[in-house]
Structure formats: C-alpha cells, structure tokens
Amino acid sequence: MTVAEALRAATRVLTEAGVPDAAGDARALMAHALRVARDRVTLMAPDELPRMAAVRFDAALNARAARRPVSRIVGYRDFHGHRFAITQDVLDPRPETETLVDAGLEHPFDSVIDLGTGSGVILLSLLAAAPEARGLGTDLSHAALDVARTNARALGLEARADFMHADWWSGVHGQFDLVVSNPPYIAGNEVVTLAPEVAEHDPWMALSPGGDGMGAYKLLLSGLKTHLAPRGRALFEIGAGQRTALTELAQRAGFATVAFRPDLDGRDRVAVLTNDGALRAK
C-alpha cells in the first residue's frame, strides 16, 4: 500500500468516526508514523508505506477514530511558533489562546506571572518574545509543573522561567508588570456538552471550576490589586458569554476599565484589566 492509498483509507475511517478535518488529521498522523515533517507527506505519497510506519499509523489512526486528539497521540502541540510537549496532566492548548499571548506582547514588560500555567505555553511564549523579561508560572498540579519545566528547558528558557506549586495566589510574593491566566471557566453543567477530544482527555480541573464557571476569576481578582504593578496589565482568557459577568467582577475588585480582545472567530477571548497609570510606550 502506498502512502497515498493509506491516507485515503484513513480519511474515510476518520470521516465515518465523526472526526472534524479527517483529511488533515490523517496527514498529521501519517507524518508522525513516517517520522517526517507534515509538508513531506505529499512528496512521499507515491512511495510504499514502510511496514513499521504502517504499524505506527494504524495505532494512531485507531486512537484518533476513538476521538483521542492528534496532539495527545503525537505528544506535542505547536503554539505561537514553538513546539510544546503535552501529557494527560495538562490542558491541550488551543489556537485561540494565542490571542492572549499577542495581547500580552502589545506592551513591554519586565516581569510576568502565569497563574495555572499548565504546560507553560503562555508564559514561555511570552518570555521567548521578550528576551529581557523573567517569569513565574504557578499551578496546583505537580505533574503539570514537570511538563512546564520540560518545555522551558527545551526552549532554553529555564534561566528566566521559574515554576511554583501554588493554589492561585497562595505563597506568591511581589508585584508583576503582566499577570496572565487561562483559568478553568466552563460551567459545571456544560462540560458534558464538549467535544469528546476535550471532555474525555483534558484534565477536569483545567476545564471547569464547577458552578457558573466564574469561580476562578473571583480568586484571581481577589489578589490582583496586591500583585499587579502600578502600570501593569492583567489578561484573562474568558469563555463565550462571560464578558458582562467578568466586567462586573473586575469593577467590584477596583478595575474601572476592562477591554476585550477577540479571537480569529470574532468572539471575546481575552479580558484586559489595566492598573492605574499610563502604559509604557511600546
């Protein structure tokens, strides 16, 4: 069987399993099986599929047909121009979260804290683009912190990225120019409505705080005035329909102005809270 024939058969299997973008996922899994870059798959289409690659491809295909995400099959996710290792212990970062990183880079910063850092993709993407800055990532999961440290070493950022086991602000000292977080924000009764790739494979604690989904924001805001530098900004990823509720919480916490950044689909994705004082020029 050629690579092209295997791809066509795999696309049919994934389509029948209800997988979105079946052809794209088949190509990604084939690249994984062949151990080549994805753009090499087309060039290899006429070639016979090597036996061991066929074994790897079949195993990966079966996993994807069972709705295991491609990133969890291959063990990494490409995010904001970098490759990050992921495991079952961390959230699989979504492309829309790059909106938060882009917003963070709109103004210079010397220090940044990422609360609930998970695999570290937000913190490390920010530090990679800000070579003079230092950062701290906190998480309640020791296993997630291990993944974040692995990613920091892989990107050569371990000298500027520290990680700490903490429950939000617990044990955190000092102030930061930039505070970022992609907290759990899905309402408890909505988790079961998520795609299987999310509901069955992302850590529950990274998806939902239970209740109406706003609990994590209340905890984040409770310590924000203490830890945000006078000219600092805080960026929180939010879910659909949470703009009004987040604005009200922020204003009660002393932040008079809340702006929002849309993702590529035009949905409110990132809340931007600014402390008193003018921002430094970019």
Q: What is the pLDDT of residue 244?
A: 95
Work out the end-to-end distance of the chain between its first and last CA atoms, rounded to an integer number of angstroms. Answer: 55
CATH class of 79-274: alpha beta
Closest Cα to residue 162, out of 138, 182, 143? 138
Amino acid at the residue 206: A
Tokens representing 253 are: 């916490």
Segments making up each domain of the chain, as ranges = 3-66, 79-274
Q: Is the dihedral of CA 130, 133, 139, 144 positive or negative?
A: positive
Do 246 and 236 form a contact (C-beta atoms < 8 A)? Answer: yes
Max Cα-Cα span within the chain: 65
Distance (Å, whole) CA 134 – CA 159:
8
Q: Find all residues with CB under 8 Å of 59, minimum gap 6, and list them.
A: none
Would you say 260 and 92 are in contact if contact means Cβ atoms under 8 Å apart? no
How much is the pTM?
Answer: 0.92
Per-position pLDDT tens, the chain of length 282? 999 999 999 999 999 999 999 999 999 999 999 999 999 999 999 999 999 999 999 999 999 999 999 999 999 999 999 999 999 999 999 999 999 999 999 999 999 999 999 999 999 999 999 999 999 999 999 999 999 999 999 999 999 999 999 999 999 999 999 999 999 999 888 888 889 899 888 998 898 888 899 999 999 999 999 999 998 999 999 998 999 999 999 999 999 889 999 998 999 999 999 986 444 433
